[in-house]
Amino acid sequence: MHNFDYHAPKLLDTALTMISDREDAKIIAGGMTLLPTLKQRLAAPSDLIDLAGIADLRGVKKDGNEIVIGAMTCHNDVATSDIVKANIPALAKLASIIGDPAVRHRGTIGGSLANSDPAADYPGAVIGLNGTIVTNKRSIKADDYFLGLFETALERDEIITSVRFPIPERAAYQKFRHPASGYAVVGVMVSKTGADVRVGVTGAGPCAFRMSEMEAALAKSFTADAIKDLKGNADDLLSDIHSTNEYRAHLVGVLARRAVAEA
């Protein structure tokens, strides 16, 4: 790892000034992706600006019909939150199967979403639950947030402060978990609120996306049978040593049916 200057601001405004003033600075949240990346010298920022000391960025609350999760809330705190478990148990379950227990004590929801690893879990939740990413500048709807492989709508001087999830009537997350890394080979979050059905897929493509055809079929009949003939479009999906794109397309169908059955 190349060396860098480390900063631990106590206020968001201080962090924003630091990132504006330092061209090659990077924000560090839980560091569960960034530190391994630095060790491999795939990145060599001049400065690391740690958000861990900014108390306002942590915590879970209910605001009307939404659950609001601070960007620096770690996965274990989401998984064990009474508020999350009572209102969106599918989200608590998702958080409880990220990485391993020690990783869940460090990794954060904001870090996961800012990084937008194609195999991360939270992007599937934000898409599948119609979440909103709140930054120091604006609110970004899930559908406008994920742009491509490790690419999001976030600007350089923009920091995620919280993530808002409307409370669904029904929701479930199903994941084909890579046995060694815990990452999603494919993960599917399904939710239903009134007539609105969403199917969010992670792990399968360059970034999380919706399955519109499945959503239309499920809006007519919210049953696994309604989507029995549907699967992902292999041409749009990733192939790697863990899985071919055809297999990922198949898993999208299998996991979506399991999620509907569980929801």
Partner 1 sequence: MTSKVTLTVNGKERSADVEARTLLAELLRDQLGLTGTHVGCDTTQCGCCVVHVDGKAVKSCTMLAVQASGKQVTTIEGLAAADGTLHPMQEAFREHHGLQCGFCTPGMVMMGIDIANRMPGADEKTVREQLEGNLCRCTGYQGIVEAILSVVNPGAVKDHHHA
217 binds partner 1 (CB under 8 A): no
How many angstroms separate the CA atoms of 215 and 217, rounded?
5
2 binds partner 1 (CB under 8 A): yes
Tokens of 47: 């400065």
Q: Which of residues 81-140 bind partner 1 (CB under 8 A)?
A: 99-103, 105-106
6 binds partner 1 (CB under 8 A): yes
Q: Are residues 45 and 2 in contact, defined by beta-carbon separation less than 8 angstroms?
A: no
31 binds partner 1 (CB under 8 A): yes
How many angstroms separate the CA atoms of 75 and 60, rounded?
11
169 binds partner 1 (CB under 8 A): no
43 binds partner 1 (CB under 8 A): no
Question: β-strands 5-7, 47-50: how paired?
Answer: parallel
Tokens of 105: 């004590």
42 binds partner 1 (CB under 8 A): no
- In the bound state with partner 1, the residue whose beta carbon lies nearer, of 34 and 67, is 34
> Which ranges in 116-150 belong to alpha helices (H)?
122-128, 142-145
57 binds partner 1 (CB under 8 A): no
- In the bound state with partner 1, the residue whose beta carbon lies nearer, of 2 and 141, is 2
- In the bound state with partner 1, the residue whose beta carbon lies nearer, of 48 and 208, is 48
- In the bound state with partner 1, the residue whose beta carbon lies nearer, of 77 and 215, is 77
Give least dist CB 4 to partner 1, A: 5
- In the bound state with partner 1, the residue whose beta carbon lies nearer, of 8 and 230, is 8
Query: 70: buried, middle or exposed (CB in 10 Å: 19+, 13-18, 0-12)?
Result: buried
Q: Are residues 149 and 89 in contact, defined by beta-carbon separation less than 8 angstroms?
A: no
